[in-house]
Structure 1
Amino acid sequence: MDILFQTISREQNSDTTNLADLPLPDMLVLLNQHDACVPQAINQVLPQVETAVRLITAQMKKGGRLFYVGAGTSGRLGVLDSAECPPTFGTDPELIQAVIAGGLDAMLRAVENVEDDRSAAVAALHSRKLAEEDVVLGIAASGRTPFVQAALDYAKETGAKTIALTTRGLSAISHQADIAIAPDVGAEVLSGSTRMKSGSAQKMLLGMISTAVMTRLGKVHGNFMIDVKASNEKLYRRAEYMVCQICSIDEPGARDLLQSVGYSVRAAVLRQLLNLPPEEALTRAAEPFRTLTSQLGAVGKYGE
């Protein structure tokens, strides 16, 4: 029996062999019980997550970028997290990027054979001018996807830092990377369907990593996303609420402040609390890697 066949046979969950025969209520209970294992598995690897967050933060302060690399579900989750960072944290779209096997076509439908295309992974990173200040985070449930392996190898050759994210414990790419994040979520309820527990774990970990990194870079004040890009009615209201809370002013006052600085929450707060003209508030708000507290020149209730 070859290694791949052994691995596939390991993925059949002996607890769920009767899944298709269960009454619907029992089926849903079983699915939920297995989903509940995911946070427990992640809890076991938090020290490795911390190390990864510290590494990414340090590299970004040197001018580096973060690249998520994956195929299939793993690649799509990387695209999702990278796409959500600019509106949430006001970051440049270049700062956190995703490389998915098969390109954008693979976002909406399965593209055959692309996860085995090692040269495509190298070409994608080369075209983006991967540098030693950057970090490549390879995502693969099994940890043996050739597209991801090639990306990590190329990153090593380039001098970039590397992180491997797998979900069935340590595996091939774990040993390629500088840091391995390898929770074991167990075999899937539906054998081999890594969009389930593995996908949930990847989504949680990528969100955890990007949020922690952005917080360490000063993009969060308290629990407010103060660099959010207000682009619709809901986000306008959210921006106004944040300014009301931070500055202890009413909604009309918050709205006037925000309108004067193009709805930049950080600039509105700086303008109000430091009595700045709009242009200076916007200039100060654009300072990289600064917390709002440090820009205000004092340690407030949230600390520095």
Structure 2
Amino acid sequence: MFAANNTVFGPLTFILTGVPGLPMSNYWIAFPLSSLYLLMLLGNCTLLWTIKTDYSLHTPMYYLLSMLAMADLGLSVSTLPSMLGIFWFESTSLHFDACIVQMYFIHSFSAIESGVLVAMALDRFIAICYPLQYAYILTGSLIIKAGAVIFMRGVCVVLPVAVLIKKLPFCRSMVLSHSFCLHQDMLRLACADVRVNSVYGLTAVILTKALDSMAILLSYMMIVRAIMSTVSHESRAKAFSTCISHLCAVLVFYIPLISLSLIHRFGKHLTALTHTLMADAYLLVPPVLNPLVYSWKTKQIRRRILTLFHWRGAQRLV
């Protein structure tokens, strides 16, 4: 299975890492982690159900919010088996092909979520800067096409990353730094020249996260300029309030992402615990917080959810 240079030629198995410094089977970690996943599933499924059943929410803004919820679900479910397997059952080994599949879905759904955030920023830009043309510009068919483009971009841009890494030989030490498989983490274990993989990985990031963040920044620069040109303070406050939820979603997604990227590049001296917590925050915090923020800040969704709970309560009383 191993050659003299410790390169693996047989079936590969990666060893996943839990939280450094803590025992592998730790219920103090397993219970909160399971609670986060349940909260994520409940929040995003409730959001999707609310938008589907309330016809007043069948508008471009809420269609895009549905796409964000589905991307959040996909991102969290991609990490669910390995993370819960580690903390509940001490199952730390993951087959090479399974690791590549997990890595592919994590990075694909991350790229899809980034694209949806761009579409939501453009939605807010058109709603504030061109309110009279909003219904004519953002039609249902355009939103469907935009969703298809965002999905295909996430699928196609990340695919070569998985194909390239599958061709690499790996060394005997197969211990990953996280509870799931990430591209950079797998790449550091390869026993070959990984310049092509690194260059394409960087290219994929530029084609997705970098361009998306610039598009969001540009959209909000124009939004702020349009809002500041409004004379009425009440109109300014109303316009800003329509962007609060999306801004929170952008910050919740990009702050952990940027922090994790900086730590991978320049934080070699930091503890393994710091790397683990930032990676977990990047993958777990946005799917948990997004439905909470939108349910709290969006009156239509909040009213629909409250109506649902009141109706359920009345049904039990009857």
- TM-score, normalised to structure 2, is 0.26
The answer to which structure, 1 or 2, has the higher relative contact order (CA under 8 A, 6+ apart) is 2
- TM-score, normalised to structure 1, is 0.27
Higher strand share: 1
